[in-house]
Amino acid sequence: MKTINLWPKDYPAGKSENKDFIPTLDIYTLDTDEPKGAVVICPGGGYAGRAPHEGKDIALRFNEFGFHAFVVQYRVAPDRFPAPQRDIFRAVKLVRSKAEEWNSRPDKIAVCGFSAGGHLAASSGTLFNEVQFAVGDETDKYPQKPNALILCYPVISSGEHGHSGSFDNLLGAGSDLELREKYSLEKRISAETPPTFLWHTGEDSAVPVENSLFWCQGLRKYRIPFELHIFPEGRHGLGLGVDDKVPELRVWPGLCATWLRKMQW
């Protein structure tokens, strides 16, 4: 694994309000003679942090299944929208721009997100025409929309079943209802939103399963393919599912890998 900075050192829009933090990309590429698809991972943490167990461990598991993997250490509070969104779009552009160097498929990039990282991943599939920036390097010419999404117990809605803390951190605790509704992402799905794999648990009390259901309802409206797995038991934030209390959750990475392979990843 190696780590690179997401942004040029002198690029103002890439700087954090937290002066000690620099957005980075952790690189877990395979040694392969054949170009492979990639998964770009956004750990969760309520837009207040980035959960370690939803980063490296996830990347290594996708490596085991034969995919390149990348973990985005994106900006969180006190940084607000669109700082995290710019970070994920910059990451997608970087992975595309390095396709030849890393022997990856520029047309097979999935963004995977957990909890609030799921909101960030969903942002990459809905806000690609809205969050624009130009850095002045070679990445500017590459598209920033991913080819697929992987949403793991994602924060999607700002409504009745939403996770208010994530929206407080992303938009500000005093942000008005109209702004929150704008980034309630089930309302931003369009015919251009990528195919999506989702999993959630029915017992999730932090981010209710309705968030995933709302997303799938939106995709269905546009006949966008999706695969949804709802496990009856399990708390929020289980990552790979390595919880002895609910061992059946451990199947989700394999199910996701099968889904990706069906799309020629």
Both tokens of residue 5? 């900075």
Spatial separation of the C-alpha atoms in residues 124 and 170, rounded to whole Å: 15
For 98-144, write each residue's pLDDT tens digit: 999 999 999 999 999 999 999 999 999 999 999 999 999 999 999 99
Q: Is the peptide bond before 82 cis (omega within 30 degrees of 0)?
A: yes
> Is 90 exceeded by the pLDDT of residue 225?
yes
User: How far, in Å, are 41, 209, 215 from residue 225 at the CA level?
Assistant: 21, 19, 12
For 139-189, write each residue's pLDDT tens digit: 999 999 999 999 999 999 999 998 999 999 999 998 999 999 999 999 999
- What is the reported pLDDT for 153? 98
> Is 90 exceeded by the pLDDT of residue 34?
yes
Which of the four pLDDT bands, split at 50, 70 and 90, describes residue 244?
Answer: confident
Q: Which residues pair with 170 in a beta bridge?
A: none
Mean pLDDT of the chain: 97
- What is the reported pLDDT for 124? 98
- What is the reported pLDDT for 242? 79
For 58-90, write each residue's pLDDT tens digit: 999 999 999 999 999 999 999 999 999 999 999
For 3-18, write each residue's pLDDT tens digit: 999 999 999 999 999 9
Which of the four pLDDT bands, split at 50, 70 and 90, describes residue 245?
Answer: confident
pTM score above 0.85: yes
Both tokens of residue 236? 């929020």
- What is the reported pLDDT for 243? 74
Question: Would you say the C-alpha torsion 137, 94, 4, 54 has a positive or negative sign?
Answer: positive
Spatial separation of the C-alpha atoms in residues 184 and 126, rounded to whole Å: 11
Q: Fold for 2-262, please state it.
A: Rossmann fold (3.40.50)
- What is the reported pLDDT for 259? 98
The answer to whether 48 touches 75, Cβ cutoff 8 Å, is: no
